Amino acid sequence: MEKIYNLKKKCEFSVLIPVYKNDKHLWFKEALKSIYEMQTVKPSEIIVVIDGPICNEIREVLNFYKYKKKYPLKIIQLKENKGLAIALNEGLKHCTYELVARMDADDVSLPNRFELLLKAFKRDPEVVVVGGFIEEFDPEMKNSCGYRTVPLDYENIVKYAKKRSPFNHMTVMYKKSIILKEGGYPLFRWGQDYALWVKLITKGYKLKNIPEVLVRVRGCRSIISRRKGFKYLKNEINLIFFFRKLGFYNLKDIIIWGVPRIIIRLFPSFVLKWIYSNFLREKKLKI
């Protein structure tokens, strides 16, 4: 039986982190350390979903933290690589606690991340999802590439969601019972989190972001420059039709917001990098 959080007492929560064969073991190790040893408020459990076969180095990292460092790890093994949406949905079933924080295997959470998210839930018990800002770095986490800020209040989150995902997925904490009630993450190869936020919006759930950088992310322009080609294009089209089916998009929205996103997938990499640098990230954080 799941344990419901009680913010009047010590808050118990889960962290959900998937890992697969292409993740780098040193980055994964740093990610695990950032969500437990470095946190001002530590998670009650860490659910690691192994999405298919992994290398021995990642397995060794898991064993090191589970048995030597005594992290509260619960490891879920999927026999085959199923993709992020399925891995997350399976992991959610194994989360003991109502509040679940997401984490990626190659990012670094700031030490006060969970403390700030828990305070947001305490201030507003009706909220279902809380997220925050990210700062992006080069792969070695040495040079900052800028910030991705997101809208804070519900009204602006809804407006923003018409054009882009209104949350930084790796920063969020949410109520497990609501996510499972609504069917979990929609089964898209990419953008499954965006699809989930839109579904929650159409169901009228309360969502918010806090004006704090919560996670340092490895990425920079290389990520968006790779998000092109037929597979991404097809996925983008399917997302748009999904939004239409939910009633979030009408024909006008498809023309204004959907079509440009489809066209962008066809741009060459150097154009995508220019768009990324000049329009999609902030060089300085403005709060």
Domains of the chain: which residue ranges?
13-228+267-280
Whole-number pLDDT of residue 260: 82
Topology of the domain comprising 13-228+267-280: Spore Coat Polysaccharide Biosynthesis Protein SpsA; Chain A (3.90.550)
Q: How many CB atoms lie within 10 A of CB 282?
A: 12
Strand partners, 144: 137
Helices (H) and strands (E) in the chain, counts: 12, 9
CA atoms of 180 and 287, how far apart (whole Å): 33
Tokens standing for 27? 């980055």
Q: Closest by alpha carbon to 257, among 154, 160, 192?
A: 160
Asked whether the beta carbons of 133 and 168 are under 8 A apart, the reply is yes
Task: Provide the 3-class DSSP secondary structure of residue 97.
Answer: strand
Whole-number pLDDT of residue 261: 80
Pairing of β 13-19 and β 45-51: parallel
Name the residue type at position 58. Answer: I
Tokens standing for 217? 């992310």
Whole-number pLDDT of residue 4: 44
Name the residue type at position 270. Answer: F
- Give residue for tokens 């962008």: 264
Q: Which residues of 58-87 are buried (b: 16+ CB within 10 A; e: fewer)?
A: beebbeebbeeeebbbbebebeeebbbbbb
Whole-number pLDDT of residue 107: 96
Asked whether the beta carbons of 20 and 85 are under 8 A apart, the reply is no
Residue 52 backbone zone (phi > 0: left; psi -120 to 50: alpha; other: beta): left
Whole-number pLDDT of residue 1: 35
CA atoms of 94 and 256, how far apart (whole Å): 40
pLDDT per residue as tens, the chain (287 positions): 344 445 445 689 999 999 999 999 999 999 999 999 999 999 999 999 999 999 999 999 999 999 999 999 999 999 999 999 999 999 999 999 999 999 999 999 999 999 999 999 999 999 999 999 999 998 888 888 889 999 999 999 999 999 999 999 999 999 999 999 999 999 999 999 999 999 999 999 999 999 999 999 997 655 555 566 778 889 999 999 999 999 999 999 999 988 888 877 776 666 666 665 655 556 666 65
Tokens standing for 2? 């799941």
Whole-number pLDDT of residue 2: 43
Q: Which residues of 158-169 are buried (b: 16+ CB within 10 A; e: fewer)?
A: bebbeeebbbbb
Whole-number pLDDT of residue 8: 44
Q: How many CB atoms lie within 10 A of CB 15?
A: 28
CA atoms of 87 and 102, how far apart (whole Å): 12
CA atoms of 110 and 253, how far apart (whole Å): 36
The whole model's pTM is what?
0.89
